[in-house]
Structure 1
C-alpha cells in the first residue's frame, strides 16, 4: 500500500482513523486483564520536518517527555521521522524509509485508510493526530500497562564508530506461542534545525527523542516471566554523537505490533 501524502490530514468524523484499538471487543477485555502492571506507556510520534503541522506535535512530545503534564504514569517517548515528505523541498535530516515502513505496519494493524503526519501511536494499540494534545493525553490515560522489564545494561564503544549495548534481564510477563520481539532504540534529544526550504521554510525546528537507530535484540516465544534473556546490539554512531543528549529504550512488541512492556536507560557520560 503506497502512502497517501496528506500533510495536514484530519480524519473525518466517523472515520476509522481514530480507531482506538486494533483488537476486537473480546480481545480488548483480555488485553486490559493482562495490562495490570505499573510500567511505562510507550508513545511513538511519526512526523517530518517537511510537514507544516509536525512541529506542534513535536512540542507536545517534548513536554510529555519532560513530565510537564504531571501524569500518574511514566512515559517513554520515541520520535520516528518518515521520509515521504522529502519531495516537498526539504529533506528531513532524520527521516528514514525504515520509519516509514514502521508507520505503514501500524496503519495496516490499526486498519486505517491512510498514512499521515503527525501521528501518535500509544502502546501500539491506539492512535490519533499528534498535535491534538487532549486526544494524546486521553489515549495515554486509557492505555493498558504492563510490568516493566528488568534489564541490566552495559555500554561499550567497540570501536570509534560503534556503540555496543549488552542487555540481560527478565521481561516479567509471559510470552505465549505467538511470540514477540525485544526491540532496542537509541534516541537523541536537543536537536535544532534551520529549515530554509519546504513547508516550514524560515522556521527553526526543535526535535527531542528522535530515534537514530533501532535494532532487534532477539525474538522470544513461550517464555516465562522470570526467564533470563540476554543479547547484544551494535549501533553505528553518527557525526556529533553526544552521550549527554542520548538515551536508550527497550520495548517488547508482539507480531500484531502491540507493546507489552518497556524500559529506558541513560547513557554513561564517560563513553
Structure 2
C-alpha cells in the first residue's frame, strides 16, 4: 500500500541572521523596520530519487542565488517513509513525517509526497519546481519579525540551553505555539543503496530538533515573552554549522512570524 500513499515527484536567499560572539543575538534596527522573514520548509528524503534536486535548489536559495527581495528561513525535514526502499535516511524521523501529514490535512491535499515545499504553512509546491517555489515565496504575506534576544549556553557537552526574551510584535488572538528549531548545514552522505545508490548527497538546513518554547493566547504585539528550553545534542555537534529558528505557529499550522539566529562560534 505504501506506493499508493507516497509519491516521489520529479519536476512536474539568503537567510536572515543575527550573530554575536557573546552568545546574545537580536534584530538589527534595519531588520526591525521591514517585514520579517518567510519560513520555507522542505520535506525530503535521501531515499527519494528526486529529492537531491530539491535539496540543491534549497541550498541555492540559502546561498542567495535568486536575489530575493525578502529574507527567508529555511528548514529541511527528512521524512522516514522511504526507508523501506533500501536506504535508511540518517536524518529521517517519524516526527517529521507526522508534521508533513499535518500539512496534508491542513492544506487539503490528496496525498503525501517528496520533495515538497511548504511556505509559511499556507502554500505548497513540488520541491524541485524552481518557478513554483519562487512564486510561493514572492506571493506570501509578511508580518514583522519577533524582537527576541537569544542567549545560548552549553550547560553540558550533550546539551544546549536557549533563552529567548522579547516581544512577538504581532498580536495573537487565538492560540498559537512558539516553536524553536535547531538545524545543521554542510552535511555530506555517501549513499550506498536505494534510489540514490552511489551518489554523494549534500544537505543543508537539516532540522535536528524541534521543540515548543511555549503556548500563547490573547497576547498583544508589545507583550514581552521570556522562556527557556534545552536541546539534547548529537555526536559531532558543531555550532559553526548550526542555526536556530523561532516561529509562531497557529493551531492550523500556519506560521505568522519568525526569526533566525546563527549560533556563536565555538559554542
The normalised TM-score by structure 2 is 0.89
What corresponds to 2:191 in structure 1? Answer: 195
| CA displacement, residues 226-270 of structure 1 (integer Å, 9 cap, x when unaligned) | 100011111110010000000010001111111101100011113
Cα distance, 1:9 vs. partner? 6.6
Conserved in 1, the CA contact under 8 Å of 2:11 and 2:128? no
Worse overlay, 230-239 or 203-212: 230-239
1:118 correspondence with 2:118: no
The match for 1:72 among 50, 69, 73 is: 69
Shift of 1:10: 7.3
> 1: distance between equivalents of 2:78 and 2:246?
19
Taking the TM superposition and a 5 Å limit, the aligned residue runs for 1:211-222 are 211-222=207-218
The residue aligned with 1:8 is 9
CA distance in 1: counterparts of 2:62 and 2:8, whole angstroms = 25
Are 2:191 and 2:199, in contact at CA under 8 Å, matched by a contact in 1? yes
Instruction: After superposition, give the CA deviation of every residue in 1:81-124 in whole Å (9 maximum; x if it has no partner).
Output: 00000000000000000000000000000000000000000010
Q: Does 1:257 align with 2:243?
A: no
CA contact (8 A) 2:38 2:137 kept: yes
Q: Secondary structure at the match of 1:6?
A: strand
User: How many angstroms apart in 2 are the aligned matches of 1:175 and 1:267?
Assistant: 28
Give unmatched runs, 5+ long, in structure 1.
12-36
Equivalent position to 2:180, from 181, 184, 206? 184
- In the TM superposition, what are the counterparts of 1:130-209 in structure 2 within 5 Å? 130-176=127-173, 178-209=174-205
In the alignment, is the contact (CA less than 8 A) between 2:10 and 2:128 conserved in 1? Answer: no
* In structure 2, distance between residues paired with 1:234 and 1:99: 20
Within 2, Cα distance between the matches of 1:270 and 1:53?
35
5+ unaligned residues in a row in structure 2: which ranges? 13-33
Question: Where do 1:7-156 residues align within 5 Å?
Answer: 7-8=8-9, 38-156=35-153
* C-alpha RMSD of matched pairs (Å): 1.5
Contact 1:120 1:136 in 2 (8 A): yes
Write the distance in 2 (CA, Å) between the matches of 1:238 and 1:114.
Answer: 32
Contact 1:39–1:146 (8 Å) recurs in 2? yes
CA shift in 2, pair 1:9/1:62, >3 Å: closer
Structure 1: distance between partners of 2:129 and 2:8: 15
The correspondence for 1:240, drawn from 225, 236, 252, is 236
| Aligned equivalent of 2:221 | 225
1:9–1:116 Cα contact (<8 Å) kept: no
What CA distance in whole angstroms lies between the structure 2 residues aligned with 1:103 and 1:175? 24
Q: Give 1:158 shift.
A: 1.7
Give the Cα separation in 2 of the matches to 1:268 and 1:40: 21
Residue of structure 2 equivalent to 1:26: none
